[in-house]
Amino acid sequence: MERFTIKDIENLSQIKAHTLRIWEQRYTFFTAKRKDSQHRYYDGHDLQVLLQVAFLYHGGMKISHIAALDEAGRLAAIERIQQRGGIAEQEVLSLVQSAAAFDERRLRGQLDRLVAQKGLEAAVLDVFFPFLQRIGHLWLTNHVIPAQEHFSSYLIQNKIISETEQLPPQEPSRAPIVLLTPRGEHHELPLLFINYLLRREGWAVTYLGTGVSVPDLPPSVLGRGNYIYVHLITNLSGQSADDYFESVCKAFPEKTFVVSGSAIQGMQRQFRNLVLLRTDDAILQFIRKGLPG
């Protein structure tokens, strides 16, 4: 049985622990359990209920009105809000509910609706990525097993791939660019999103995927233009990001390495053929306008 602390619930619902304790004393829709050590915890059913409550509460409904609803009433109220388009925080909470319950049909429907309402770019930036960061709290505390991590990421990846395949066919109007993550980096979801954005903006993308050894790229790939785009989230085993990019920049001085991802935030070294995109805005600016000059 899954067990969550009140701090877990606070992080997922964005409702302060103090407020949750007051609600528990005043209302009956959830009650903490106690371990033999008398430490309080909440189970998976409590999490589902509190995420439903948080969704409605963040949407402006008074807690006294929410407390008067049974589960069917809460779900009906959530559906009404979603049909008219909820705020991003509510949408994140709704995705967390579906992921925690392994409700694939509901999660697929939510992804489809959000993309239809917002477009893929806004849905990913405003909802999907914040959702993955939020549920990542459970991964870090071992309250979500790898199956749940794969479940959520897999469905979002499929949605991004589907939207990429539906882009209208067009002759590339921008420079050729090779897109990859280095060996040891296996986070593909951000790379797929960058691939979608590049293709939408007319870049001629060669998508190589994850875990690619740049020094071993064949001449047929290296000959496809001057840009190699690398996205890096995890640290490279046994080598700093500074050392890694120094080595590839010196090995391929004729190439321009365009680099993004959380693992580059601490990089200090600069090279003539290295472009660091440290923020989402910088990534979008490059994709839309390329490099100046």
Residue 86's pLDDT band, with cuts at 50, 70 and 90, is low
Q: In this prediction, what percent of the chain has a pLDDT beyond 90?
A: 51
Task: Give the least confident one: 70-84, 133-147, 207-221.
Answer: 133-147
pLDDT digits (tens, 9 = 90+) for 161-176: 999 999 988 788 889 9
Mean pLDDT of 183-201: 94
pLDDT at 149 over 90: no
Contact indicator for 225, 175 with CB cutoff of 8 Å? yes
Q: What is the CA radius of gyration of the chain?
A: 22
Contact indicator for 271, 252 with CB cutoff of 8 Å? no
- The more confidently predicted of residues 1 and 99 is 99
Assigned CATH class of 86-166: mainly alpha
pLDDT at 76 over 70: yes
pLDDT number for residue 4: 81
pLDDT at 293 over 60: no
Q: How far is CA 5 from the centre of its chain?
A: 24
Q: In this prediction, what percent of the chain has a pLDDT beyond 70?
A: 91
Domain at 1-85: CATH code = 1.10.1660.10
pLDDT number for residue 36: 62
pLDDT at 138 over 70: no
Rounded CA-CA distance 134/136 in Å is 5
Mean pLDDT of 166-189: 90
Pairing of strands 33-34, 40-41: antiparallel
Q: Which of 117, 115, 96 is nearest to 107 (CA)?
A: 96
Residue 118's pLDDT band, with cuts at 50, 70 and 90, is very high
Task: Give the least confident one: 140-144, 147-151, 209-213.
Answer: 140-144
DSSP code string of the chain: ---B-HHHHHHHHT--HHHHHHHHHH-SS---EE-TT--EEB-HHHHHHHHHHHHHHHTT--HHHHHT--HHHHHHHHHHHHHT---HHHHHHHHHHHHHTT-HHHHHHHHHHHHHHH-HHHHIIIIIHHHHHHHHHHHHTT-S-HHHHHHHHHHHHHHHHHHHHTSPP----S-EEEEEEETT----HHHHHHHHHHHHTT-EEEEEEEEE-GGG--HHHHTS-SEEEEE--SPPTTS-HHHHHHHHHHH-TTSEEEEESGGGTT-----TTEEEE-SHHHHHHHHHH-S--
Residue 142's pLDDT band, with cuts at 50, 70 and 90, is low
pLDDT number for residue 234: 79
pLDDT number for residue 10: 85
Region(s) of the chain under CATH 3.40.50.280: 170-289
pLDDT number for residue 202: 94
Rounded CA-CA distance 228/180 in Å is 8
Output the six-digit token pair for 178. 């090779």
In the predicted model, what is the mean pLDDT of the chain? 88
Residue 277's pLDDT band, with cuts at 50, 70 and 90, is very high
Pairing of strands 40-41, 227-231: unpaired
Rounded CA-CA distance 62/262 in Å is 38
| Backbone torsion region of residue 156, taken as left when φ is above 0, otherwise alpha when ψ lies between -120 and 50, otherwise beta | alpha
Mean pLDDT of 44-48: 82
Mean pLDDT of 51-78: 89
pLDDT digits (tens, 9 = 90+) for 91-103: 898 898 888 889 9
Assigned CATH class of 170-289: alpha beta
Mean pLDDT of 243-253: 94
